[in-house]
Amino acid sequence: MDESRPPLLRMERISKNFGATRALDEVDFDLRSGEVHALLGENGAGKSTLIKILSGAVKPDGGAIWLEGQRFAPAGPLESRRAGISVIYQELNLAPHLTVEENIMLGREWHGFGFLRRQRMREKVREALGLVHHAEIPLDVPVRQLSVAARQVVEIARALLERTRILVMDEPTSSLTGEDSQRLFGIIRHLKSQGVGIIYISHFLEEVQQVADRSTVLRDGKKAGTGRTDEISLESIIKMMVGGEVKELFPQVAHQAGEDSLESGALKGKHMPAAVTLALRRGEILGVAGLVGSGRTEFLRTLFGLDAVESGRVLVGRGEVLCGGPRQRIRKGIGLLSEDRQGEGLALSRSIADNLTLSYFAPYVRSGFIRNKQQKKAGWEWIAKMKIKATSPGQPVSSLSGGNQQKVALARLLHQNAEVFLLDEPTRGIDIVSKSQIYESMGDLASKGKSILFVSSYFPELLGVCDRIAVFHRGRLVELRPVIEWNEEALLAAATTGRPAAS
Amino acid sequence: MNEAKGGSRRIRLLVNFLAPFLGLLLVIIVFSLLPQVQDRFLRLGNLKSVATQSVIVALGALGMTFIIISGGIDLSAASNIALSSCVVAFAINAGMAPWFGVLLGVLTGGLIGFINGTLITSLRLVPFIITLGMLGIARGVAKWMAGNQKIDAPITWVNELMARSPRPSWLLMAPGVWMMILLAVATAVVLRTTVFGRHVFAIGSNEATARLCGIRTKLTKVVIYGLAGLFCGLSGVMEFSRLTVGDPTVAVGLELDIIAAVVIGGGSLNGGQGSILGSMIGVFIMAFLRNGCTMMGWPNYIQEIIIGLIIIVAVALDQLRYRRDS
């Protein structure tokens, strides 16, 4: 790398206040062309504020930005984009009804007198998709019919349509499988070779070590450290991020597996799962690994009665449950944590207390009237028990961070006295401290004799907390083994090929 | 395998395209098979009168299609039509040139739409509330202007716009019908082939994304509501032409017919979906139903029940298709 030329981007002593809170406190950040610079930190550490300042969405209170040595003070997002800065946000920003072509060209359609130049735009779009090695994506399909991974490619292609010098990727792999993530890294390497500078935000530290040249860690609005990724260890990054709050990422709580608590006998759903037989024991954390579309989620939903059972049986400690939906399952002591926290798992606009007690309202009802006081009291208790960062149980769930939202969702299952916990991606998109706390809660539950079925796309956490791991492939259970017999390569091999690992 | 997939998609696209036509065809076939009306139903004369009866709702539906695709709604459409028709009558009655009266009527509609759009974007209230308010305001202004009675106006060429037997006779159909067809084609072209049309879809599909992509969502919305207002204004002109007077109490509840037509034609109230062709088919399904029921001598309430059922069935079928798609 040529060190003498001015860096592609230099942000100096950037400060920003939101009311009384200091979101950014004299933060320095720089980026060279052809470099991937990871921006790390807990939720609320100031990462997104820094990005918003760069993208022109927010104006800084202090500090200066230079682009290739020239002062840069964007008046708005448009100016930033014209300067070659593209941001791919965490929630995919596509219009679901529009086609691939329409989405990629959105906002900068080529036209003559207002009439679209379809043919020329299509060539341009094909070129953009080719640039990210995904020329096979059809142009005329509405985006809502594409897989999550393909949608992401569409979004990257859109970002690259303009002469992009700086590409910001905010949690790009949070909804991707391992395989799709690897493909994304391929695209990133390609962009690097073209001289694009990439700012990479992610919660997955292993992934950062794989893809980033340098890392900068923010904590509480301040820069906690920066350095070459190959020179700083994972542990020191975590230490910088949390400032000593997390001692271990995977806190171990001793637990002992007992008799079977939930049995799935040749359980078959309409589409998936396909005849899955599996027994979950008391005091056990059983991991379920697999790619997106492997039927993991469908398996959990079928167990919980959200998806229809075609054939087979589900047994819990207190007898067979097959008929009925979630209501019956909850009564039998099964609880499900949805993978879609915001869409399905929580009623975002309602309070913490309401969300907590939604599945088990009985204690707070007397002759049809809700006893607000008792409900609120229970809310306080769970906030303390789960270490939820909130000011009151009356606070709407939407005002909490992702990690704290997830703790509310988990607390609901505890509150409804579940014996069997079906957890679907419980740590997706949440910060490390919350993750670690959720792992600890899972260990606690197991030590109390509860059973946990833990679905995750993230192999390290499965290997870190589970007792046994089952791998799914196209709706079938490929293999179930104790965790010590698995490693990441074996999991990936089983999940992608659908063949049991040779032992 | 891939080819077969493409083939089945093409078939599905074809089915999706034809589905609304099938509904219309079904209505026409049923009535032309009923022995009481079959000899009269498909006569040219009757078809002409169905076409003429459709003009007012159809013009409203053209604008409403834009609004619904963009994720909005306009409850003030019928009040706007009534107000515009009164303005035309008022102007011609006051001795202005008929063409000027027509222009004033259309512009009045446009102004109401423009106000709707401006209020929706500046107050950041949902279109339902703003246009619900405008429903009352426009109707009230119309009654006020008309002094709470009908406004008489001398007969001019304006009244021939909706004449069932037009002059010159080679026109075959009323000038208003031709205007409707022409405008339907024009709006379909705008919706499908212009940047503006694409932005309308984008806003309805995901407004946040549209804004992120640099689309001027506020301006686009004001244009959409303004445009829809102009169509209501023109529809008001047709209403005046048909009645030969300005009646501030006309077209009460017609906004629901207009919305129903768009929805029957595949428009989604969640935005992002809809087409001009679909909306026009929706208009004709309802017009043929009304016409057929009247010919059968069925009472009004039967029509109302049937149309109510059609709305539910049409949207349910559409939902089914949508779910299978995604």
Q: How distant, in Å, are the alpha carbons of B5, B262, B320 from that of B323?
A: 18, 20, 5
Residue B256, C-beta contacts closer than 8 angstroms, at least 6 positions apart: none
- Read off the CATH number of the domain in which B202 is found: 1.10.3470
Q: Are residues A155 and A163 in contact, defined by beta-carbon separation less than 8 angstroms?
A: no
Dig out the tokens for B47 from the structure: 């078809």
**What are residue A67's DSSP bridge partners?**
A9, A70
**Closest residue, chain A, to B203 (C-alpha):** A95
Residues of B in contact with A151 (CB under 8 A): none
Residues of B in contact with A81 (CB under 8 A): 214
Q: Is A108 on the interface with B (CB under 8 A)?
A: yes
Give the pLDDT score at A379. 94
* Per-residue pLDDT tens over the stretch B246-262: 999 999 999 999 999 99
Residues of A in contact with B217 (CB under 8 A): none
Residue B1 has pLDDT above 80, yes or no: no
In a domain, B88, yes or no: yes
In a domain, B77, yes or no: yes
Give the pLDDT score at B183. 97
Extract the runs of DSSP E, i.e. beta strands, from A231-381. 260-269, 276-281, 284-289, 309-316, 319-320, 334-337, 365-366, 369-370
- Torsion of the alpha carbons at A187, A193, A199 and A205, rounded to the nearest 10: 60
**CA separation for the pair B258, B269 (Å, rounded):** 13
**CB-based contact B202 A95, cutoff 8 Å:** yes
Residue A128: closest CA among A194, A224, A181: A194
Q: Is B198 on the interface with A (CB under 8 A)?
A: yes
Burial of A260 (0-12, 13-18, 19+ CB in 10 A): middle
**CA separation for the pair A94, B272 (Å, rounded):** 12
- Three-state DSSP at A319 gives strand
Pick the more confident residue, A274 or B138. B138
Dig out the tokens for B191 from the structure: 């919706």
Dig out the tokens for A255 from the structure: 């637990």
Residue A126, C-beta contacts closer than 8 angstroms, at least 6 positions apart: A135, A139
Domains by residue range for chain A, with CATH: 9-242 (3.40.50.300), 256-333+418-503 (3.40.50.300), 349-417 (no CATH)
* Per-residue pLDDT tens over the stretch B194-241: 999 999 999 999 888 888 777 889 999 999 999 999 999 999 999 999
Please tell me which of the candidates A77, A97, A116 has its beta carbon nearest to residue B194.
Answer: A116
Q: Is A81 on the interface with B (CB under 8 A)?
A: yes
Phi, psi (degrees; rounded to nearest 5) at A469: -130, 130
**CA separation for the pair B272, B320 (Å, rounded):** 17
**CB-based contact A94 B206, cutoff 8 Å:** yes
**Closest residue, chain A, to B325 (C-alpha):** A145
Q: Is B206 on the interface with A (CB under 8 A)?
A: yes
Residue with tokens 């036209």: A111
Residue B154 sits at the vertex; the CA angle it makes with B152 and B155, to the nearest 5 degrees, is 115
Q: Is A107 on the interface with B (CB under 8 A)?
A: yes
In a domain, B302, yes or no: yes
**CA separation for the pair A134, A126 (Å, rounded):** 9
Phi, psi (degrees; rounded to nearest 5) at A34: 75, 20
Give the pLDDT score at A233. 84
Q: What percent of chain B has pLDDT over 70?
A: 94
Stretch among A381-390, B37-46, B56-65 having the lowest mean pLDDT: B37-46
Substitution target in A82, A99, A106, A136 with the highest count of B β-carbons within 10 Å is A106
**Closest residue, chain B, to A117 (C-alpha):** B193
**Closest residue, chain B, to A82 (C-alpha):** B214
Tell me which residues of chain A have a pLDDT lower than 70. 1-4, 20, 43, 90-92, 175, 244-247, 318, 321-322, 501-503
* Per-residue pLDDT tens over the stretch B165-179: 777 778 888 999 999
Q: Is B194 on the interface with A (CB under 8 A)?
A: yes
Q: Are residues B74 and B255 in contact, defined by beta-carbon separation less than 8 angstroms?
A: yes
pLDDT band at B138 (very low <50, low <70, confident <90, very high): very high
Q: Is B196 on the interface with A (CB under 8 A)?
A: yes
The chain-wide mean pLDDT, for chain B, equals 89
Strand pairing class (A309-316; A260-269): antiparallel
Q: Is A120 on the interface with B (CB under 8 A)?
A: no
In a domain, B50, yes or no: yes
* Per-residue pLDDT tens over the stretch A18-52: 876 788 999 999 999 999 999 988 767 888 889 98
Please tell me which of the candidates A77, A116, A145 has its beta carbon nearest to residue B198.
Answer: A116
**Closest residue, chain A, to B205 (C-alpha):** A95
Q: Are residues B235 and B84 in contact, defined by beta-carbon separation less than 8 angstroms?
A: yes
**What are residue A451's DSSP bridge partners?**
A284, A420
**CB-based contact B194 A98, cutoff 8 Å:** no
Q: Which residues span the domain enclosing B117?
A: 40-325
Dig out the tokens for A501 from the structure: 């690992």
In a domain, B59, yes or no: yes
Q: In Å, how far is A211's CA from the nearest CA of chain B? A: 27
Q: Is A135 on the interface with B (CB under 8 A)?
A: no
Residue B13 has pLDDT above 80, yes or no: no
Give the pLDDT score at A352. 93
Q: Is A98 on the interface with B (CB under 8 A)?
A: yes
Q: Is B193 on the interface with A (CB under 8 A)?
A: yes
Residues of B in contact with A102 (CB under 8 A): 198, 201-202
Residue B2 has pLDDT above 50, yes or no: no
- Three-state DSSP at A385 gives helix
What total number of domains does chain B contain? 1
Amino acid at B253: G
Q: How distant, in Å, are the alpha carbons of B112, B124, B205, B261 from that of B129?
A: 15, 10, 21, 21
Residues of B in contact with A97 (CB under 8 A): 201, 204-205, 271-273
Task: Decide if the complex's ipTM is over 0.95.
Answer: no
The average pLDDT across B27-40 equals 85
User: Dmax over Cα atoms in chain B, in whole Å?
Assistant: 72
**CA separation for the pair A331, A19 (Å, rounded):** 47
**CA separation for the pair B307, B291 (Å, rounded):** 12
**CB-based contact A108 B209, cutoff 8 Å:** no
Residue A91: closest CA among A402, A424, A397: A402
Q: Are residues A5 and A31 in contact, defined by beta-carbon separation less than 8 angstroms?
A: no
In a domain, B34, yes or no: no
Give the pLDDT score at B40. 84
Phi-psi region of A243 (alpha: psi -120 to 50; beta: other; left: phi over 0): left
Residues of A in contact with B215 (CB under 8 A): 106-107
Residue B97 has pLDDT above 50, yes or no: yes
Give the pLDDT score at B136. 97
Q: Is B3 on the interface with A (CB under 8 A)?
A: no
**CB-based contact B205 A95, cutoff 8 Å:** yes
pLDDT band at B67 (very low <50, low <70, confident <90, very high): very high
Q: Is B246 on the interface with A (CB under 8 A)?
A: no
Give the pLDDT score at A383. 94
**CB-based contact B201 A102, cutoff 8 Å:** yes
Q: Is B326 on the interface with A (CB under 8 A)?
A: yes
